[in-house]
């Protein structure tokens, strides 16, 4: 990392990350760092690229739309990590890197002879972020892990859905994304420790998909420990937190209305033209409303059912009540808040041209992140730039490495 203020390319400009691994959690970590200006060198096996290039059923111009967003702002190189010369070349990249990320099954890098011991010999400052199903240690460490199982064993699936029904999954790879965010957080913390707190050395950041899901469980752990409570799914509400639910409008749209503290509840009562409810002993306190949740939410549902969604949204937000519609992605595209916050950003694909992808989170006042380029489709599209420009290999050396299947 540079010691001067980051230029306009983003707050992580000057940080170099070598990304190993495929699909979601590890590469999502790289995407988050790349969005904020880090230089990401993504390594793919020659002839066996990241499967996310073809992931999913939806196709546009014959291409999956996962890859170009997941791999935006990344320099793509090919490298055979199973070959000795490939391993040696990786360690040369490590010499120039701040961070390496990987999401192989634990032990894979060690079997290839490029574990953290070798990496830290090449560069004592390098940070290795390892993302796996269950972490690098423990009895489950060597199991294969996917987001679906991590969400299940991490406790998220059990509290999702409706009582007595099969616990559904989110129609997203939530566990992967959560792990990627924790990995990015851990990397930044390790950089702070290395460069500011003063050790000057790198370390391993060990992220488990299961633990990333588990970390979302709020008070369920002490509730079980002290009270023996096993939190169950509650459908569209939170048991004992009322009114806070979804309510259907007259024009058949679902609205979230959350007025579960005393001030918000008084505002809701006034907005509904029912100020007397705020003083009703059944509803006057948070605890009372929790005990009479079905009754108070039934009253709110009756009120909402007589009004269109636009009116509910306007009336309650003007009254300072927390309220908003449940959006589809189509409605997100029409929403002015998303537009004003630049959360729908044009990307330009090298093959099929412009398309809209998600914007950058979070926002920075002085050094904003950016989509500098969409993911490239050519395997090893940045081989020459990285291997010649960064490592100084000649054209002849690159040619021999290609012929031998090393890159």
142-190 pLDDT, tens per residue? 999 999 999 999 999 999 999 999 999 999 999 999 999 999 999 999 9
- Using CB atoms within 10 Å of the CB of residue 257, give its burial: 0 to 12 exposed, 13 to 18 middle, 19+ buried: buried
| Cα(180)–Cα(31) distance, integer angstroms | 9
Q: Phi and psi dihedrals of 171, rounded to 5?
A: -80, 45
- Up-side HSE of residue 405: CA atoms within 13 Å toward CB? 6
Facing residues of 16 across strands? 39
3-state SS record for 140-209:
CCCCCCCHHHHHHHCCCCCCCCCCCCCCCCCCCCHHHHHHHHHHHHHHHHHHHHHHHHCCCCCCEEEEEH
Positions of the chain with pLDDT under 50:
1-7
Active site residues: 176
For 302-319, how does the pLDDT look when each residue is reduced to its tens digit (9 = 90+)? 999 999 999 999 999 999
Closest of 197, 207, 193, 311 to residue 250, by C-alpha: 311
Neighbours of 58 (CB within 10 A): 9
pLDDT for 9: 78
Supply the pLDDT for residue 96. 98
Instruction: Give the CA distances from residue 192 to residues 161, 182, 200, 224, 391, in Å, rounded to whole numbers and listed in that order.
Output: 40, 15, 10, 35, 27
Confidence (pLDDT) at 123: 98
**DSSP structural state of residue 394:** -
């Amino acid at each position: 990392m540079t010691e001067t203020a980051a230029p306009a390319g983003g707050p992580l400009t000057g940080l170099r990350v070598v990304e190993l691994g495929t699909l979601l959690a590890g590469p999502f970590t790289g995407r988050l760092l790349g969005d904020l200006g880090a230089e990401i060198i993504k390594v793919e096996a020659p002839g066996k690229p990241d499967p996310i290039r073809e992931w999913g059923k939806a196709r546009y111009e014959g291409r999956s739309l996962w890859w170009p967003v997941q791999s935006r702002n990344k320099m793509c190189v090919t490298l055979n990590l199973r070959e000795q010369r490939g391993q040696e070349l990786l360690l040369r990249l490590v010499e120039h890197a701040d961070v390496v990320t990987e999401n192989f099954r634990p032990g894979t890098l060690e079997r290839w002879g490029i574990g953290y011991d070798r990496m830290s010999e090449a560069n004592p400052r390098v940070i290795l972020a390892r993302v796996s199903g269950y972490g690098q240690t423990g009895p489950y460490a060597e199991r294969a892990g996917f987001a679906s199982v991590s969400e299940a064993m991490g406790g998220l699936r059990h509290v999702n859905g409706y009582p007595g029904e099969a616990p559904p999954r989110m129609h997203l790879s939530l566990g992967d994304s959560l792990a990627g965010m924790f990995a990015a957080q851990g990397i930044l913390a390790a950089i702070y420790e290395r460069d500011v707190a003063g050790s000057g050395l790198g370390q391993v950041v060990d992220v488990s998909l299961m633990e990333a899901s588990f970390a979302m469980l709020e008070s369920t752990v002490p509730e079980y420990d002290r009270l023996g409570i096993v939190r169950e799914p509650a459908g569209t509400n939170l048991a004992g937190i009322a009114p806070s639910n979804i309510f259907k409008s007259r024009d058949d749209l679902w609205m979230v209305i959350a007025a579960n503290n005393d001030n918000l509840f008084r505002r809701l009562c006034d907005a509904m033209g029912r100020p007397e409810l705020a003083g009703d002993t059944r509803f006057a306190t948070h605890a009372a409303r929790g005990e009479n949740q079905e009754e108070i939410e039934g009253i709110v549902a009756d009120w909402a059912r007589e009004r269109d969604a636009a009116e509910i949204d306007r009336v309650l937000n003007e009254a300072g009540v927390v309220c908003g519609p449940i959006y589809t992605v189509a409605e997100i595209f029409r929403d002015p808040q998303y537009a004003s916050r630049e959360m729908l950003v044009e990307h330009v694909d090298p093959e099929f041209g412009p398309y809209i992808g998600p914007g950058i989170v979070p926002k920075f006042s002085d050094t904003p992140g950016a989509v500098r380029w969409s993911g490239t489709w050519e395997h090893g599209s940045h081989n020459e730039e990285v291997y010649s420009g960064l490592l100084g290999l000649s054209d002849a050396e690159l040619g021999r490495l290609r012929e031998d299947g090393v890159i």
